[in-house]
Structure 1
Amino acid sequence: MNSRDSLARGVTRAAPGTLHARSLWGGIKIAPTPGRVLRFGRGEPPGVELTVGDDDLRVSRRHGELTYREGAWWLRNQGQQLVRLPRGKLLHISSEPVPIAAGYTPLFVKGSGYREHLVELYVTDYDQVLTPRQQARTLAPKRWPLADDERLVLVALGQRYLLYEPEPRPLSYRQAAAELGCLTGGVPWGERKVAYRVDAVRMRLARAGDFPYELLRTEPDGPSDNTLKHNLLRGLVESTTLVPPDLALLDGPLAGAGGPGGAHPPGTR
């Protein structure tokens, strides 16, 4: 799967309640049939329908499951490690199952060390089907083109946003430069180089005139640089210009314990 493919950008037309699930190892779509179960974990079919973290022994062979009942998909953690949902909600093996809301939900399976393995979920909403303009083409959000090196820098800087942490803030240029240096085999990434890439994106998007948040300080007492970085990352994530699967870009040749598909807390490598 391409790291830029993401259920955050929407799904194909399907019946209300249909579950779409995706990991770095593949994807699946399941109709909302009462009693239907989707199992995910380190195992492979037929033990699980969706493989997650197949190279990480901290991930259980059957780590979790989603069951359709009472008109919703219910998530249950069956593994020894935590499952993390947006806004910091954690599921332990002893936790009660929780319903998955309609639309997009990323969840992260705790793995070895600092690794977290992404599972994307999307439940088709009734609004996606029962609309007055059923045959009209869906209007995608405005997305902005990024060069490969710009995307890498922004993912490193904004990984807390892509991890759906509560109240995320950007890494410092120094932290991002240190992380990028590890990924590129020691090729130096100084703070100035990172700042230059970020400033170039901010200037380009500000000149375009249709970015939803303020990107440049126009008054001496205007927003701080950290606030402007926050605005940039917030807009890129909300527009799905940057999506959670982009975290795979941080698993470079020297990512060490991170390995394929393991997201890392900011500034820890």
Structure 2
Amino acid sequence: MKFLVTNDDGIFAPGVAALVETLQHFGEVTVICPDQERSAISHSITLRQPIKATPVTFFGQHVQAYALNGTPADCVKLGLEVICKERPDFVFSGMNVGPNLGRDLYYSGTMAGASEAVLHQIPAISVSLDRNEEPIQYAYPKELLYDLLEGLFQRKWGKGLNANVNLPYLQKKMVKGIAVVPMDMTIDRYHYVGLNDPHGNVYYWLKDHWNQLEDTVLADDSDYAKLREGYITVTPIDQQRSNRKVMERLERLLVNKPDYIGGLTQ
């Protein structure tokens, strides 16, 4: 198999090296990552400056790799349209330091890298680790990811696959299993906090309250709850954003009635 790998922590992040090392057991890997951290940049692309792909060699002689002065979505888009000589079988994004759960779907650069691949009709998996600070023993998540991929690769995946994977920071013997779960959009994980500078001005920073959610009541089948319990969580993401049921109702209301603008133009 052939894989394209990106991330939002930057080309020098040890998490992407861990992901590459794991994927090399299954096939050929190409890496295109931002040249610096691009966390929480969502699905933005670069429009008003040129993009440069700088070759790097620190993944080894068998891995074609580039550092890009752009976003994770840029990395995947440029890789699929220009750099990759053959279409990869999968695009992987990660391994992100810190989990991606719930509303992170709309903010995460890691998840955006995977979403960009699906727009090109290539299945994608984003991988995140429930650990926010060093030191990180990457042997733990690499073993968990290897076992998970052995199962995932046993079946043929459609072009629309977009799976969000979160790995607990646990040894394999401590992991309770794999949970296929929905994303809990009810949890507001990030909050602005105000800080005063020496001149009395107030500035606001986003604070991650992931570690303060212990007392929060979580849905039993949610990604938040299962990751906290020690499961690997897998969430298939639907890229279809058009609500067809609402479209049909609006069409009956607005288009098929002559007293509305839509009806008058038919």
Higher relative contact order (CA 8 A, sep 6+): 1
Name the one with the larger strand percent. 2
Find the structure with the greater CA-based Rg.
Answer: 2
TM-score scaled to structure 1, two decimals? 0.24
